[in-house]
Structures are given as C-alpha cells and as structure tokens.
Amino acid sequence: MARHGRLCAVAALAIVVSSGCGARQNAAGDTSTRLTVTTTEASTPASPSAPSSAPASPASPTTVTGGESSPPAQENRCTAGMLTGLVEPQNASAGNRYAVLVVRNKSQRLCTLWGYGGLDLLDAGKEVLPTQAERTLGPVPTLVRLRPGAAAGKILHWGVVATGDEPTDGPCQPAASSINVIPPDETAPFEVDFEFGPVCDQGRIETSAYFPR
C-alpha cells in the first residue's frame, strides 16, 4: 500500500509538471502571437509624404536672378556730364535689330552705375519721337564701377516690322537719328548718335541693365 501510494504521488507530480510545461509553452505561443501582430503593424507602409520642394516655376523675362535685388549705396553716381557714348550694332535677324549702348567715363574720377537708366529717340531736329523703353533683357542690375576711361554697356533690341496701325507701305515710324541717354537715378540726359532708322511698334525698345565692358 505504501509503495502504491508513492507511485500515485509520483504520477500526480508528473502530471503537475507536464501541465506547467504546457502552460509555459502556451504562454510562449501567446507571446509569439503578440510579437507577430506587433511586427505586422510596424511594417505597415506609411502614407506617401509630400515632395520636399515644389518644382520651380519658369522665370518670367522680368524676373531678377543673380543680380543685386536693391540699389546699393552709391557715393559717386555717374552723371550725364561725366559720360560719353555710342551704339554698337550687333547681329540682326528677320525683323529684329540688336545693339549695345556703350557709355564711357570721360571724367577724371571714379563713378558708378546701377540699373537701367532711360532713353528717348530723337529725330534729326532733336525732337523726341515715340519711345517705349522696356526693361526685359538680361543681364540684371549689378553695381558697375567706372574708373576714368572705363566703359559699361547695355543691350538694346527693337523691331523693324510695322505693327498695329503703323503704315506698311513706308517707314513704320519717323527715322531716329540720335537718342537721349539718361544715366540710372539721374534726370539730365546726354546725346548719342543712333543711325539705325525707324523703331517700329511705337518706338518699343527692350533693354538690359548696365554691365561692365
């Protein structure tokens, strides 16, 4: 009876141990299940993010890029009395003309130019002709320092084909023989020869800012 009782006790203990191992295995299985769920949630792809930067929009002809965005301080601006000039023709294309207005410092001291300045077309009698100077060409404004004898330039472009109600059986506009050139930030002009005939489209001339020559 005593031996039988020991055998029963051993069997009971074995059942308890087996049950405990099963419980631990089930617990491990539960943990594995939870990890699997956690991993699945972590691997869910995130929604696409917005691009880091939007594509740049094309620059318009009047956009200022690369030059100084505002006029620098100038102690010695070039005045009309300090400058002389000429117009140098460049390559022409059908209906279009290009030239460079060159201005030179004829004074004995350094002066500066920044920007576009102005101009007016003149006829042979020095009367002002229709003129529309448009600041649409590059390069953009940058400070130009002119020592005595140094030169700067700006590009000019105009058309020679009649537009709108301009006559097509003769000159589109009266022929220009010179131009009044007004330095940037000045009001007094100086005169430069302009021997290229009429400027069509009501005297429309596209210009750049001054640049060093």
Of all residues in the chain, what percent carry a pLDDT higher than 90? 62
Report residue 71's pLDDT band, with 50, 70 and 90 as the boundaries: confident
Closest CA to 198 of 100, 124, 101: 124
**pLDDT band, very low/low/confident/very high, at 69 (cuts 50, 70, 90):** low
pTM of the model: 0.67
* pLDDT higher at 32 or 166: 166
Does the 80-212 domain belong in CATH 1.10.405? no
Task: State the average pLDDT over residues 34-63.
Answer: 36
In terms of pLDDT, which residue wins out, 58 or 130?
A: 130
With a cut of 50, say whether residue 178 has pLDDT above it: yes
- Compute how many other C-beta atoms are within 10 angstroms of the C-beta atom of residue 183: 27
pLDDT 10s digits, 116-136 = 999 999 999 999 999 999 999
Between the alpha carbon of residue 42 and those of residues 19, 49, 75, 164, the distances in Å are 35, 17, 66, 69
Domain ranges of the chain: 80-212
Closest CA relative to residue 140, chosen from 90, 210, 205: 210
pLDDT band at 75 (very low <50, low <70, confident <90, very high): confident
Residue 21 carries which side chain, given as an amino acid letter? C
Give yes or no for a contact between 87 and 102, defined as CB atoms under 8 angstroms apart. Answer: yes
Whole-angstrom Cα distance, residue 178 to residue 123? 7
- Report d(CA 123, CA 176) in Å as an integer: 5
- Which tokens hold the place of 100? 């460079």
pLDDT value, residue 55: 33
Q: pLDDT value at position 72? A: 79
